[in-house]
Amino acid sequence: MSDIDNKYKKVSDVSVKDLDSGSPLLSPSDESYSGPSTQINGQVSYLQDLEDLPQGRHLGLFSTIVLFVSRILGSGIFSIASGMYEDCGRSVFLFFLSWVLAAILSFSGLYVYLELGSIVPRSGGAKVFLEFIYESPKLLATVAFSVYSVMFGFTLSNILVFGEYVLHAIGVEVTDFRTRLVGLLFLYFAAGVHGVSVHHGVRIQNILGALKLGLIVVMFATGVYVTFFPESITGIESNLHWEDVFTVKTKASSSTFASSVIKASFAFSGWNSVHTVTSEIKDPVRTLKIAGPTSLGIMAVTYLLTNLAYLVVIPGEELANSGTLVGSLLFEKVFGYRVGKQFLTFSVALCAGGNVFVVIYTISRVSQEVFREGYLPFSRFMSSNWPFGAPMRTLLLSITLSTSIIVFAPHGDIYNYIIALEGYPNQLAIGLTALGIFIIRKRYPEVKAPIRSSLVGTVLVIIICSYLLISPFTSLTSPNPKGLEHWPSYAVVAVFCILLCIAFWYFKFRFFPSVFKYELVPEEYELDDGLVVKRWVKVYNDGSI
């Protein structure tokens, strides 16, 4: 053993033939099954023990609701409405249909995740669920999704909106350079806080999350005020004319409509992020069962009223061309320059900033889980919590990726392009996870999950995800945002990235072991801080290592 390996205490050796999918789970009906599980009235309620990480369980019900709300309410609702309206051919009906489909997908997907999270209550989210569901080909789902999550372990949309809204609020001319610079500086601040102290990072998250609750009240009240109060009281002439609701004013296609739904899904996307930190939530099954639907319901109603306010207050032409500043435009028209453009616009910037805190936190945890599995180079180094008891290394990786894209991305509507690019593989993961509900129920008929997803909701998730995945390839027009039609389709780029992840699995676990006559055997080691990590050892056919 090398000097470096002396830092680690070996925990166990696992034979390749015993490794099904990176998770040593057997059916509860199997005679060799020795737990872990909990039984209620003779039925298994979950298949894995709650995992306690060195940092402990520090997220209660309020913190989890704040985490949900903070992750859901980010830059999306204040910045994507303009692009969605244009994608829908400036049709009010198609615009709202996009939001309705995204809301249905989010609620249905939430219960899919709640069911799987209640029987597999471990950090990692979709990564953990997919590796638990898809055992064959061995390690394909696990490794491909893991590499993808690290590859896409950056946050761009919220830091761009943060920078743009801060500059707009303080009256500084908004330029592309200034927007990116301000956003990156805030990203470094958020990563620095989380990297030095988990508890201080959570406290700031809670503070910004509480401010978001206040902003939600403002959004809700604004929607009610401009929609249901007469012009004689508000002084605002309505631009929403019901006779034009079904009119398609510009070009729209199935691919652009799918892009609109994906953008709306991005605004709801925080519902699937909290399971990435399940191991840090107190009583996770009960907490998530309450926090998830409550948070998502609040946000769905708020989004409905906010979008009504956009259509009532902002003329259609202006809405279509307002870009990411549509939220600021709404507040300025309703509340005036001082309160609307400055105070509330700055509040939106803080909202996006709070989302940066939450996203960078969850991204670092997902990446840390991937490195703990040992699939990528430098896994033991990257998964360590040393020296501050926080995932500083994966935080640095995330901000490096984010900085590289921000610096080298060309001018144009990169915001909406990145949203669509990130959203496409997520729809694949959500669809496969929903399909997994039926696989798990058939594989483990004895299991009675504490939280159950409905049959109709699960099927709807599969149908909507299938539509969003196929639709971008069915139209002759580009599904990309306006001005970037000459770029490769976001769907093509996303599929290429997914294929790269699959190729990584194939060469690492199939091609090279077959050519060089060895097997990869996982060994677990315990770091100085108590975190258990895995490395893959080459065992050749002659028994040598």
What backbone phi and psi angles, to 5 degrees, belong to 17? -70, -20
Residue 535: its H or E element: strand 532-540
Reduced to 3 states, what is the DSSP secondary structure of residue 123? coil
Domain 5-540 in CATH: superfamily? Amino acid/polyamine transporter I (1.20.1740.10)
Domain ranges of the chain: 5-540
pLDDT at 52: 53
Structure-token pair, residue 52: 């306690």
Q: CB-based contacts of 48: which residues, under 8 Å, 6+ apart?
A: 23, 25, 36, 37, 119, 120, 121, 122
- Cα-based distances in Å from 338 to 170, 211, 328, 342: 10, 19, 12, 5
Averaged confidence pLDDT in the chain: 81
pLDDT at 26: 34
pLDDT at 39: 44
pLDDT at 322: 84
Three-state secondary structure of 58-116 = CECHHHHHHHHHHHHCCCHHHHCHHHHHHHCCCCHHHHHHHHHHHHHHHHHHHHHHHHH
What backbone phi and psi angles, to 5 degrees, belong to 337? -70, -55
What backbone phi and psi angles, to 5 degrees, belong to 379? -65, -45
pLDDT at 508: 93
pLDDT at 410: 65
pLDDT at 12: 35
Segments of the chain with pLDDT less than 70: 1-58, 123-124, 273-277, 410-413, 529, 543-545
